[in-house]
Each structure stands twice: as structure tokens, then as C-alpha cells.
Amino acid sequence: MTNKALLYVRVSSKEQEDGYSLDAQEKLGHNYARVNKLEIVKKWRISESAWGKKERRAFDQMIDYAKKHLEIGHIIFDITDRMTRNDFDKMKIYDLAKQHDKKIHFSRSNKIFDKNSNSDEEFMFDIEVAVAKKLSNDISRKSKMGMLEKAEQGWLPTLAPLGYKNNHETAEIDIDKARSRFVIRAFQLIASGSYSLTMAQEKLDEEGLRTRRGKQIPRNTLYELIRNPFYYGVFSWKGKTYTGKHAPIVSKDLFDKANKALKEDGRPWENKRNFAFSNLMRCGVCGCKVLGEIHKGRYIYYHCTFTKGRHQDANYIPEEKITEMFGPIVQKVSLPVKLADWLKEELKERFRLDSKVTTDGAKALKTEYDSVYKQLSNLYELASGGITNKEVFQAKEREYSARLADLKIKIANAATNPAEAIKEVNETLELTKGVAELYQKAKAHDKAEILRAIGSGYSFDGKKVVPTYRAPFDLIAASCPKTTGNWRSSNIEIWGG
């Protein structure tokens, strides 16, 4: 038998605290090899971060390597439970020793197990593996109990999803300010109905969203993000729904809108040619998407997709005409400078007067929150006593948890800093002062982005456009009279407000 050896060291975070660090095990292993005149030719270092499938793969690689290389006569472990904590792996070690004539060394206890080990040594080896297995099971059970307790306290007992980060000092979950804006943006894009998952994926990539390794967010990851109720304040653990203590990133209303859009049959068509106004409008006759296409290799026209069948009033409109048709819609939410400045001052005074009303509203919401929370607690007590059936329990649990999450968001909104609210309104009013001029000068794709910012949807039947303005642009548009006539050179009828 040669003196060539393999070194296998493994550790978890708790064992590192107890002096079993990878470096400590490796140093002891090398000292052991030197004393026993062994030459370590290859080593494996397995940390807690490689737990599970990766650890299993590393262990199997070591076993296969030892079998394939006949010159390897020795394998060095720290102690028995650094080698294995299950019977399956124990049999692999037995096979190496008995069938492949490998010597198994334990550097810390200075023991050797090989084909010549007697029955007493084999018995002690089995006992040590059994003890390691029990220790592993105890750790697993305690870990599961700890995670369940954390869930009961309202904290997700696992890695925080995109947009959040685990606070290792407080053991809580905080909002990741650098990445949470992308989560909000993802929900807004999908909820708008103008973006498919693939289109939203590409848009978010353009805006700077990356994985921790700097790659584009996978489509299935984006799908799971939109479906995850954690973002509005609720999570599930081991089949039970909990109201989280973490701060929600999106409202329940936005979450529902995004998920409804995700399920709808009329999903946005992939805008492969990147037409500026595709997926922005729906047909005013049948409700299908309005998309662009190329004519004669150079001219862009927009029309209904006719998914539900062809119909009358199906005009093909050139992109230049579409651009003009949207002009008055933008103009309608463009305020004169003096009016916008006056509104700023008026709203500042309104916020001051409403502050007391907001405070009273927050107290009422808190009272309702406490009441619903008590109802949920009573439900759990009834369930633990076997008084209620499973279907009733699950339905009520979902109802109360959703209500708590909704109230939590309303309480947070009621507690909004007036200065921040005023700042947000002022920024909107600043935009209204120049949005018409900005639209007129912008390129087609930038025009489309302006339209998405001021409107949640547009209906187009080939002759007229009907906008659905977002707040607060809807209020601004409603204060303007209905207009019919020219914007630039077109004779187009626009309905809005």
C-alpha cells in the first residue's frame, strides 16, 4: 500500500465556534499525515454553505476518486461525524475499507479503520456513526422547531426574497432600498397589462436589475416574484399562512392587479420589432390588443389584432398619426406654470389641515387591526382544540391574514410623512408644467413612456382614443373641458376626463 492520502474536512457554523473550523481540521490533518509519513495529494473542504446536494456531491466525488486511483491508500477525516452522519454513507466507507483496501484515518482521535479491524473495532465504529446520526437528527429537529417559532412570531425563517435582506444583527428582514424599487417596478409593469413576463424581464434588465452574480433575472424568477404574497405582507410556512412583521413593498391592490394580468388570456404580445406604441392600447370595438407592423419594409402602422374576429372600423393608422392622436391627451394634463405653482401652495395648506384627520384615521385603523388580530388568535385556539373543521379554518385564516396585511399597509400609508407627500405632489406638478412640450420633442419610444406614466390604459377604435388617466392626472384632466379640434395639424376627436 502506498502512502498517498486524501483529506476530507467538513464544518458547520456552530462547530466553527467550538474549534472545529475548516482551517483547524486541515491543520490537524496535515500534522497527522506528517507524523504518520502520509502524503496528502488531494483535499475536500466542505462548509455549511455547501450543505445538502453540494455536500453529497463532494462526498461522492471523494469516494469515486479513491476507488479510481489505486495509488490512494489512505483517507483522513477529523472525527467520525465529520465523515458521515447517515448509514448510507457509512456503507460507502465500509466498501472502501473492505473491498478497495483503503485505510480510514481519524486525525483527532488517532484511530484507524480498515479491512483488518476486528469485531470490537467495527462495533465501536458503528456506535460512533449512530451517535453522529442522532446528533444530526437532534440538530435538524431543533432547527425546524426554531424556524416554526420564528414563523409564529411573524418572520420568514429563511432567506429573504429579492427586494429584502436578512438583518443578521436583529434576525429580522429589512427592505433592500437599492433593489426594492425594481420589485415595485415589476409589479407596475405586469399590472399595467402592457407587458408580458418576457417584456417586463427585458425592461427591468434595461433599467439595471441584475442577479447577485450580475446576470439577467430569469423569467421564472420574475414569475415567482409576482406570485409571492410576501411582498404585500403575508407568507406561508409549512402549510400555514402568517401575517409578517416585515414592511410590505407593494399594496394588496397592486399585487392583485398584477396577478390578474398574469392570468388573463389576452396577455401582451411579444414586441419583437420593438414598436413604440404596441401593447399600449386596446381596440375600442372588441378589446383586443392594438399592435404595430411594417408595411412596404419601412412604414409602421397600428391596428387591432382581430383575435376575436375581424370587424368594421378596423382602420390601419400610421405611427405619425398615432403620435398626433395622443397629443391632446397629454396636453389635457399639462398645467400653466402659474396654476401649478398656486396648487403647490394650496396643497401645502391642505396637508397641514388634514394632519389631524390622518392621525385619527390611523388610530381607527390600529383599533381594527388589533380586533382582527384577536379574531385570528381565537381561530388558532379553536383549531388547536379541534373545534373547527379544516375547510372553515383555512378559509377564515386566509380572510383574516389578508385583512391584516391590508390594514398594515393602510396604517403605514396613514403614517406617511407629510413632508414626503408634499414632495411627491410637487414633483408631479412639476411634471405637468412641461409634459406637453416634453412629449412634443420626445422620440416615439419616449413618447410611449410618457403615456404609460400618465395613463393606465387607452382604448382605440381606429378613429378616436379614450384615455384612462392615472391618479392624480385623472383629477387634472377632469378639471379641463372636453375638447374637439386640432392639435398640431390633425382633425381628430379625443374623449377623456
DSSP calls for 1-19: ---EEEEEEE--HHHHHTT
Residue with cell 446520526: 133
- Listed residues 240, 263, 286: the one ending a domain: 263
Q: Are residues 255 and 280 in the same domain?
A: no
Determine the residue type at 360: D
* Domain total in the chain: 4
Residue 269 lies in a domain: no
162: nearest Cα among 105, 230, 111: 230
Question: For residue 492, what are the β-bridge partners?
Answer: 485
Q: Are residues 325 and 279 in the same domain?
A: yes
User: Across 429-472, where does the E strand assignment appear?
Assistant: 455-460, 465-469
Residue 235 lies in a domain: yes
The pLDDT value recorded for residue 40 is 94
107: nearest Cα among 5, 256, 179: 5
Q: Are residues 413 and 309 in the same domain?
A: no
Encode the chain (497 residues) as per-residue pLDDT tens digits.
Answer: 689 999 998 876 544 444 568 888 889 999 999 999 999 999 998 875 444 566 678 888 999 999 999 999 999 998 877 677 677 778 888 888 888 999 999 988 888 999 998 888 888 877 877 776 776 666 566 666 667 778 888 888 888 999 999 988 888 899 998 899 999 999 998 888 778 888 888 889 988 998 878 888 898 999 999 999 999 999 988 878 888 889 899 998 899 989 988 876 445 555 556 788 888 888 888 888 888 888 887 889 988 888 788 877 667 889 999 899 999 999 888 887 777 777 777 776 666 655 655 666 777 888 888 888 888 777 777 776 666 677 777 778 778 877 777 777 777 666 555 565 666 667 777 777 778 888 888 888 889 888 988 888 899 877 788 999 887 788 788 876 554 444 443 333 333 33
Residue 146 lies in a domain: no
Report the side by side order of strands in the sheet with 39-46: 39-46, 4-10, 72-77, 103-106, 111-113
Measure the CA–CA gap between 164 and 249, rounded to whole angstroms: 9
The answer to whether residues 7 and 31 touch, using CB atoms and an 8 Å cutoff, is no
CATH of residue 196:
3.90.1750.20
Measure the CA–CA gap between 334 and 426, rounded to whole angstroms: 14
DSSP string, 299-348: EEEEEE--TT---SS---EEHHHHHHHHHHHHHTT---HHHHHHHHHHHH
Peptide bond into 472 cis (omega under 30): yes
Q: Are residues 108 and 43 in the same domain?
A: yes
Q: Are residues 282 and 410 in the same domain?
A: no
Residue 204 lies in a domain: yes
Residue with cell 433593489: 179
The pLDDT value recorded for residue 497 is 34
The answer to whether residues 329 and 467 touch, using CB atoms and an 8 Å cutoff, is yes
Residue with cell 409564529: 152
CB under 8 Å to 92, separation ≥6 — which residues? 63, 84
319 is written with which cell numbers?
A: 405611427
112: nearest Cα among 74, 162, 167, 72: 74
Which residues span the domain enclosing 232?
Answer: 164-263
Residue with cell 412640450: 437
Q: Are residues 259 and 309 in the same domain?
A: no
User: Across 249-316, where does the E strand assignment appear?
Assistant: 281-283, 289-295, 299-304
Q: Are residues 18 and 112 in the same domain?
A: yes
